Amino acid sequence: MNDNNLLKDTVEDKELAENENEKEEKGLIEKTIDEYLDSITAEEYLSMNTHDAYNSDLKKYKLFLKERNRKKVDKIRKKDIQDFMQVLLKEKKKPQTIAHYLTSIKNYHKFLLKNGYVNTDIAESIERPKLTKKLPNVLSVEEVDKLLDIRLNTPFDYRNKCMLELLYGTGLRVSELVSIKINDIDTINCIVHCIGKGNKERIVPINDYVITSLNDYLKERPKLLKNKTTQELFLNREGDSISREGFFKVLKKLLLEKGLNPNVSPHTLRHSFATHLLEHGADLRVIQEMLGHSDISTTRIYTHITNNQIRDDYNKYHPRNEKE
């Protein structure tokens, strides 16, 4: 056998081994989960928080399947998913959390079918747990005033005051708040530009309280830059953009200082913004636009809050409801 034949056989053996490896790896659960996560990363409308949530959900799902000795996707059974849901129930996960896990799993199995890894979508017929609509917590106008009454001594005080005024004055999500750039603010036309869910841009009006707070903060902001150059509006102690976690810490500290419920979240201010507008006669569709809700049914939950208040006042003040 000459050298050319030996070389040919070596190349063929190598290609055969590579094909066998590819065949062996094709359909591995771990590999396909990575592929799925890579595919949704490429989708511009998906936020990093959503991506991380999918990653966390599927990591737990993968470990569960591993315990059952499931290595390839074609070995996963519908009962595996149902049993995984039962595990979450035994761990006393909330219905909303279980529903989120199931959404992640359903989307993963759709990906498997779409890309030819399986012939059927075993997750398609699994029903989501029924969720009870929980009314969002809101602060009273007096509680908001108390929270926003910040003594202004340091640049951080001006920053914190401005962040809270902007959050309550616009109903922004905290992820939108910490992403705002200086040129997103237009104090002449009294508006703020923001990029919300689905990478959708919207314009929200700002009031005089917000504008005053912004102007005061912008005078102090250079002291936080630490010789850096950035267009991020709200800065941390290193001169970089404040994170969602950083804002949470600021809010928690202020709530404790003011003697308010420490479990209030940034989203509570968003809920309070919408509820107070509705209570003072704002149109529901206008509120929908300002909040960036794609479906008005999401906004409609705030009508339940005001209806509850109406019912409470009725029960309290109507003469026929007086208790003997």
Domain locations along the chain:
3-114, 141-316
Instruction: Give the torsion through C-alpha atoms of 8, 9, 13, 16, to 10 deg.
Output: 60
- The reply to whether 302 belongs to the active site is yes
Query: Residue 197: its pLDDT value, please?
Result: 74
Q: Which positions of the chain have pLDDT values less than 50?
A: 11, 16-23, 318, 320, 324
Domains 3-114 and 141-316 alike in fold:
no
- The reply to whether 221 belongs to the active site is no
Instruction: Give me the catalytic one of 221, 270, 271, 276.
Output: 270
Select from 315, 281, 283 the least CA-distant residue to 300.
283
Class of domain 141-316: mainly alpha
Instruction: Give me the catalytic one of 72, 197, 202, 223.
Output: 197
Query: Residue 263: its pLDDT value, please?
Result: 85
Q: Please indicate, yes or no, whether the overall pTM of this predicted structure exceeds 0.95.
A: no
Contact present, 78 and 126 (Cβ < 8 Å): yes
Neighbours of 267 (CB within 10 A): 14
Residues in the chain: 324
Query: Residue 96: its pLDDT value, please?
Result: 81
Query: Residue 279: its pLDDT value, please?
Result: 80
Provide the CATH number for the domain formed by 3-114 in this structure. Answer: 1.10.150.130
Instruction: Give me the catalytic one of 173, 221, 271, 276.
Output: 173
Strand order in the sheet with 201-205: 185-186, 191-195, 201-205
Instruction: Give me the catalytic one of 159, 161, 276, 293.
Output: 293
Q: Which secondary structure element, helix H or strand E, spans residue 3, and what is its range?
A: helix 3-25
- The reply to whether 293 belongs to the active site is yes
- The reply to whether 173 belongs to the active site is yes
Neighbours of 236 (CB within 10 A): 18
